Amino acid sequence: MATDCIFCRIVAGEIPSKRVYEDDHAIAFLDLDPFKTGHTLVVSRTHATDALEDAEVLASIAPAITATGKLLVERLGASGLNVLSNVGEDAGQSVFHLHVHLVPRYADDAGMGALLTRTASGDLDEVHARITA
Ligand code: AMP
Ligand code: ZN
């Protein structure tokens, strides 16, 4: 574990997070600053800098990505989902521990162009309760 890495500390339980899913290889928790309602991060338990560093670590979180994506769509009634991972500062990466953004999408706010406009509604506790109830 990298002690100066915020996501390693979340994985270790040293920093709180609103978890929605976990397995042996990954944890998934709500993004603190969501673009859309239910915006979630799937984070590897093993530290890797980004999605290109280690193919095995990337592959190991695929089941958690699938399971969490389905959970979000089902529980939140989303009609779509963006699955994306930023690699490098110029791509917008700000936390240098492998993570995949799962951004639920809704028919009234559709399309790739609208992805980065923040329209999330409901506070994180309320959204967390809807996903985990
Ligand atoms: P990226 O910019 O692709 O590296 O994504 C990092 C994401 O982590 C951003 O969307 C942040 O809002 C989110 N984030 C940073 N710190 C936390 C935290 N403590 N809990 C939940 N999400 C966080
Ligand atoms: Zn880390």
Q: Is residue 37 part of a domain?
A: yes
- Judged by DSSP in three states, 78 sits in coil
pLDDT digits (tens, 9 = 90+) for 98-133: 999 999 999 999 999 999 999 999 999 999 999 999
CATH (domain of 102): 3.30.428.10
Q: Is residue 1 part of a domain?
A: no
- pLDDT confidence of residue 3: 76
4 Cα–ligand 2 center, Å: 8
- pLDDT confidence of residue 87: 98
Q: Is residue 10 part of a domain?
A: yes
* pLDDT of residue 2 exceeding 90: no
Q: Which of 15, 42, 95 to mutate to test the pocket of ligand 1 (most atoms within 8 A of CB)?
A: 95
Q: Is residue 53 part of a domain?
A: yes
Q: Could you tell me if 28 and 40 are in contact, meaning their C-beta atoms sit under 8 angstroms apart?
A: yes
Q: Is residue 36 part of a domain?
A: yes
12 Cα–ligand 1 center, Å: 16
> Count of domains in the chain?
1
Q: Could you tell me the sign of the dihedral formed by the alpha carbons of 59, 53, 6, 121, in that order?
A: negative
Domain extent for 93? 6-132
**CA 87/CA 99 separation, integer angstroms:** 10
* pLDDT of residue 89 exceeding 70: yes
Q: What are phi and psi of 82, to 5 degrees?
A: -95, 135
pTM metric for this prediction:
0.98
Token pair of 59, please? 């592959």
Q: Is residue 121 part of a domain?
A: yes
Q: Is residue 87 part of a domain?
A: yes
Nearest listed ligand to the Cα of residue 10 = 1
Active site (catalytic) residues: 99
